[in-house]
Amino acid sequence: MSKLSLPARMILVLTLITVMSGGILAGWDIYTKPKVAYHREQALKKAIGEVLPAHDSYEVRETDAGTLYIGKRDSIEQPIGIAFMAIGSGFQGQLRIMVGLNPDLTQLTGIKVLEQIETPGLGTKIVIDPSNKENVYWFPDQFKGIQTSPEIVVVKNAKPSTNYEVQGITGATISSIAVANILNAQIATVQSILETSQKVEG
């Protein structure tokens, strides 16, 4: 070691350290990947169960607008609801929201924020608000029954007056509006896809 020049030693040591680091991380990633994927899958299934009205099963349909989860009840031929992921930017990072709607996409049946990295205690209220004594899920629960047209609107400092308005979170306006924007965008995309496919089928 001491026979090598200083630059050579610096390069050699740093290379060895980074190779070792890469090896440890690659191995650990292989080990943890299935478990992380499993948790994501479980969270997805649970979310579909929560945002759709009572159903016995759901059909997974891939479309140009992403994956649709179509809820069905055994006794009824028509679907009872459609759920899909709406993804977009929140205040600090990506928001991944599972949203459920009625079959003609005019009304929401529920939302669930699956992944977010919003400000703890503020933006995280889009998921759960422990400071609210009546209902810690007041924010997502608002979306049940909300109309999708003209579009979902967030109101501040006032109570919602129409059936397409929801109350924003005090101190987390951007997070609240981001949820509405992401939902509006994805709902519009899915609506246009379904209209197109219905036209094609005649």
Partner 1 sequence: MSTSTSLNTEFVKGLWKENPVLASLLGLCPTLAVTNAAMNGLAMGLATTFVLLMSSMMISALRNFIPHQVRIAGYIVIIATFVTVADRFLAAFLPEISATLGPYIPLIVVNCLILGRQEAFSSRNGIGRSLIDSLGMGLGFIFVLVVLGIIREILGSGSIFGFAVMGDWFTPWMVMILPPGAFLTLGLLIALANWYNDPSSLSEIRIKQ
Selected from 3, 21, 103, 163, the binder of partner 1 by CB under 8 A is 21
Q: Is 26 in the site for partner 1 (CB under 8 A)?
A: no
Residue 158 CB, shortest distance to partner 1, in Å, is 20
Binding mask 81-110 for partner 1 (x = CB under 8 A): -----------xx-----------------
Count of residues touching partner 1 (by CB under 8 A):
31
Q: Is 10 in the site for partner 1 (CB under 8 A)?
A: yes
CB-CB contact of 82 with 100 (8 Å): yes
Binding site for partner 1 (CB under 8 A): 1, 6, 9-10, 13-14, 17-18, 21, 24-25, 28-29, 31-32, 35-36, 39, 43, 92-93, 115-117, 120-122, 130-131, 133, 171
